[in-house]
């Protein structure tokens, strides 16, 4: 039985997770401690929820680097509203609406003015971070004021039950929902088709512009959800919240088999990618390595993943070419036999 490229990438990522975990468990004394496992899952969930949204954008052939700015902006909004004492559902809903609006703006700008995804979302990421600076609490002198949240209802989002943080539970639920949508619904089929070949999809009746705008909107909403849980855990918000998350989420998705350029991947792969990247970062800290190596590793992983995808593409192209030539030869042989029989 042949295993598809999609499953192969997941199996490779899963194998790397197991191997790295075994190495870190054997070489450090604290890796397998319950508190460390809880921390790994919590941090992975933060990245993973963002990856759920980013996976939709990547599969549809786009890229979103504004995640960090959206997290900063929506996280500060969560903090301000929670300090005012609003019920947590309203706080989260307000953040999700703002995050979705930011994502919608990304999609609208890109599809309306035919802008490059990379440059556009890189620019809007700075814009959203600027909105966060405008929204954050300040002293009369203009100095940023640190606010500690004491809203018990909202702070519950940062707690855990049965050893699992609520953010981890939300991550698993969102991943399963996203996986179902991406692989079992017409919306997911159209998303994948848009990433594979936008022009062909449009000729087949798919509203490519609407699909892209919707996927960017989903990404913005997921960023807001991740920001809400993180702010509840930290009990405050700050301007560096979400810093670097745009690249982190893309790296995790690519590691999990979501192909840059679109057309392949799903939320389960992004889930595994987030776990893998978090385990690597956690292990680096156990060894006392400088966090700068994290960026070196992320860049190397993305390059390896891209090279792997390119290798798979070459092999697939050669296989299709061989099958096509074989079929052509068989057809020619049958025609020759028919011609000989007629004579």
In this prediction, residues 290-312 reach a mean pLDDT of 77
**How high is the pLDDT of residue 1?**
46
In this prediction, residues 46-72 reach a mean pLDDT of 97
Q: Of 70-74, 80-84, 253-257, where does mean pLDDT reach its minimum?
A: 253-257
**How high is the pLDDT of residue 330?**
76
Size of the chain, expressed as the number of residues it contains: 343
Instruction: Assign domain 5-342 to its CATH architecture.
Output: Orthogonal Bundle (1.10)
Percentage of the chain surpassing pLDDT 70?
A: 97
**How high is the pLDDT of residue 297?**
78
* pTM summary value: 0.91
Task: Output the six-digit token pair for 22.
Answer: 């075994």
Give CA–CA dist 288/158, Å, rounded.
27
Long-range (24+ apart) CB contacts under 8 A made by 2-8 are 5/264, 5/312, 5/316, 6/257, 6/264, 6/265, 6/266, 6/269, 8/312
The three-state secondary structure class of 138 is strand
| Every domain of the chain and the residues it spans | 5-342
């Amino acid at each position: 039985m042949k295993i598809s490229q999609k499953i192969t990438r997941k199996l490779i990522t899963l194998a790397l997770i197991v191997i790295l975990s075994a190495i870190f468990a054997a070489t450090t004394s604290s890796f397998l401690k319950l508190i460390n496992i809880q921390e790994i899952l919590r941090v992975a969930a933060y990245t993973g929820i963002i990856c759920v949204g980013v996976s939709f954008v990547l599969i549809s052939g786009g890229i979103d680097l504004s995640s960090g700015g959206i997290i900063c902006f929506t996280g500060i909004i969560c903090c301000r509203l929670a300090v005012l004492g609003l019920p947590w559902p309203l706080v989260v809903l307000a953040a999700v609406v703002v995050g979705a609006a930011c994502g919608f703006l990304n999609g609208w700008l890109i599809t309306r003015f035919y802008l490059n995804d990379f440059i556009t979302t890189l620019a809007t990421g700075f814009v959203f971070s600027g909105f966060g600076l405008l929204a954050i609490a300040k002293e009369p002198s203009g100095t940023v004021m640190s606010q500690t949240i004491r809203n018990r209802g909202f702070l519950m989002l940062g707690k855990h039950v049965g050893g699992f943080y609520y953010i981890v539970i939300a991550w698993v639920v969102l991943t399963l929902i996203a996986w179902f949508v991406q692989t079992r619904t017409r919306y997911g089929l159209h998303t994948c088709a848009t990433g594979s070949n936008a022009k062909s999809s449009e000729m087949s009746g798919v509203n490519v512009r609407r699909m892209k705008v919707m996927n960017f909107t989903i990404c913005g909403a997921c960023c807001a959800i991740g920001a809400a849980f993180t702010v509840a855990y930290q009990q405050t918000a700050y301007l560096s919240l979400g810093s670097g998350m745009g690249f982190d989420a893309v790296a995790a998705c690519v590691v999990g088999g979501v192909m840059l350029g679109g057309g392949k991947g799903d939320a389960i792969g992004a889930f595994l990618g987030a776990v893998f990247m978090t385990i690597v970062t956690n292990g680096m800290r156990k060894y006392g390595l400088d966090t700068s190596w994290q960026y070196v590793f992320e860049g190397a992983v993305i390059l390896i993943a891209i090279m792997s995808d390119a290798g798979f593409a070459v092999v697939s192209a050669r296989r299709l070419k061989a099958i096509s030539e074989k079929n052509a030869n068989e057809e020619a042989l049958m025609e020759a036999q028919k011609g000989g029989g007629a004579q």
